[in-house]
C-alpha cells in the first residue's frame, strides 16, 4: 500500500521548520510532498535547501484548502492520500495502525487518527479530536470536543470506530475514492469542506473510521483561530451548503428553516457579548448561502441519501441547555 503524505502550505516557513522534521523522521516508506499555495515567503526555498528529498508541488494561486488540495493531488500517485496540516507533529509509528486498518477493513475509505493538542498534550484538540459527527441540524462536533469544551485524553477513545467525518487536519483517504467524489468542493474555500467530502462519500456507500491507536499533535489556529470572524462566516455558511447538497430536499428545507432561527439566536448572543464582527459574520454567511443556493442545489448527489446521519438531535440544546460536554453522556440522551 503506497501512502503519500501531502502537506498544504501557504506562507508557512516557520511551521514547516518546526513540524516537518517529525513527518520526515516517522513516515518511513511514505512519499512526502509539500503542496505550496502560491506562498510569498521563503517556504519553497527553505524546503529545497534543507529537505531536497521532499517533492514540491507549486500551485499557481492560493485557492484555499479545497482548491489547493484538488490541484495538488492531480500530481500525486499513491493508493492512499494523507492530507496533513503544516502545524501537525506526528509520532513514531503513526502510520502503522492506519495501514493495518485499511488492510483489515476493506470497506473503509477514509481514516482519521487521534488528534491531540500540541500545547496541552494530554487533551484533545479542537480540529477533529477523536472523530467527527454532526447533529440532526447539521452542526458538527467531535468525540473529545463539544464546541470549545475539550476533554482530557485518558484512553477513553483508544478505539477503532466508525465516525461521520474525518478532520482535514490529518485525513487519510483512498485516492480512487477521492477521485470518485471529485475531491473537495472549491466553493467552500476552507472549513467544513472535509465534512462535505465525507458526507458525499458516505452517500456513495463508503465508510469513515477513526483509529485511536495512531496519534498526532496539532497546533491549531495557525491559519484562522476559533475566534476569527472569517472562520465564523465560513463555518456557518459551509454547514448550510452541506445540508443543501447531502440531504433529501424536503428534509434539507426544513433544517435550513430551523437553522435560520437558531443562527439568528447565535448572532444575537454575539451582540450581547459585544462581538459585533461575529454577528455580521453570521449575517454575511446566510446572505452568501442564499446567493449560492441554486448552485449548491445543482450539486446534489445522485446517489441514495443516508437518512441516519446524526447521533444526537441537537448538540446546541445538549451543550448549552443541559450543559453536556462529554460525548459519551451526550449520545445517551
pLDDT in tens, 108-152: 999 999 999 999 999 999 999 999 999 999 999 999 999 889 999
The CATH superfamily holding the domain 3-218 is Spore Coat Polysaccharide Biosynthesis Protein SpsA; Chain A (3.90.550.10)
What average pLDDT does the chain have? 94
pLDDT score at 172: 98
Q: Where in the chain is the domain with CATH 3.90.550.10?
A: 3-218
How high is the pLDDT of residue 307? Answer: 83
Cell of 255: 433544517
pLDDT at 332 over 70: no
What distances in angstroms separate CA 94 from CA 83, 99, 172, one per listed residue? Answer: 14, 9, 12
Q: Is the pLDDT of residue 222 over 80?
A: no
Tell me the pLDDT tens digit for each residue of 168-220: 999 999 999 999 999 999 999 989 999 999 999 999 999 999 999 999 999 98
Q: Check whether 303 has a pLDDT greater than 70.
A: no
Give me 41's grid cell. Answer: 515567503
Q: What is the mean pLDDT of residues 27-53?
A: 97
- Assess whether pLDDT exceeds 60 at residue 333: no
Percent of the chain surpassing pLDDT 90: 86
Q: What percent of the chain has pLDDT over 70?
A: 97
Query: pLDDT by residue (tens digit) across 269-285?
Result: 999 999 999 999 999 99
Amino acid at each position: 500500500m503506497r501512502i503519500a503524505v501531502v502537506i498544504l502550505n501557504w506562507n508557512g516557513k516557520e511551521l514547516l521548520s518546526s513540524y516537518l522534521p517529525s513527518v520526515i523522521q516517522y513516515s518511513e516508506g511514505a512519499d512526502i510532498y509539500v503542496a505550496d499555495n502560491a506562498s510569498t515567503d521563503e517556504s519553497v526555498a527553505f524546503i529545497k535547501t534543507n529537505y531536497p528529498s521532499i517533492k514540491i508541488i507549486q500551485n499557481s494561486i492560493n485557492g484555499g484548502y479545497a482548491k489547493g488540495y484538488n490541484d495538488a493531488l492531480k500530481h500525486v500517485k499513491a493508493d492512499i492520500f494523507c492530507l496533513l496540516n503544516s502545524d501537525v507533529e506526528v509520532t513514531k509509528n503513526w502510520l502503522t495502525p492506519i495501514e493495518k486498518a485499511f488492510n483489515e477493513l476493506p470497506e473503509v475509505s477514509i481514516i482519521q487518527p487521534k488528534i491531540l493538542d500540541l500545547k496541552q498534550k494530554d487533551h484533545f484538540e479542537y480540529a477533529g479530536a477523536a472523530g467527527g459527527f454532526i447533529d440532526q441540524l447539521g452542526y458538527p462536533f467531535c468525540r473529545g470536543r463539544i464546541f470549545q469544551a475539550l476533554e482530557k485524553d485518558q484512553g477513553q477513545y483508544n478505539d477503532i470506530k466508525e465516525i461521520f467525518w474525518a478532520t482535514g487536519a490529518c485525513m487519510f483517504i483512498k485516492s480512487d475514492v477521492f477521485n470518485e467524489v471529485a475531491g473537495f468542493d472549491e466553493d467552500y474555500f476552507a472549513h467544513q469542506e472535509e465534512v462535505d467530502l465525507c458526507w458525499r462519500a458516505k452517500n456513495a456507500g463508503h465508510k469513515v473510521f477513526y483509529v485511536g491507536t495512531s496519534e498526532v499533535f496539532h497546533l491549531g489556529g495557525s491559519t484562522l483561530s476559533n475566534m476569527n470572524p472569517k472562520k465564523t462566516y465560513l463555518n456557518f455558511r459551509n454547514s448550510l451548503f452541506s445540508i443543501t447538497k447531502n440531504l433529501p430536499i424536503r428534509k434539507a428545507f426544513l433544517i435550513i428553516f430551523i437553522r435560520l432561527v437558531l443562527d439568528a439566536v447565535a448572532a444575537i448572543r454575539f451582540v450581547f457579548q459585544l462581538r459585533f464582527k461575529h454577528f455580521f459574520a453570521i449575517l454575511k454567511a446566510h446572505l452568501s448561502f442564499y446567493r449560492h443556493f441554486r448552485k449548491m442545489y445543482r450539486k446534489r448527489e445522485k446517489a441514495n441519501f443516508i437518512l441516519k446521519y446524526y447521533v444526537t438531535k441537537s448538540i446546541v440544546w445538549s451543550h448549552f441547555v443541559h450543559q453536556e460536554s462529554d460525548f459519551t453522556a451526550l449520545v445517551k440522551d
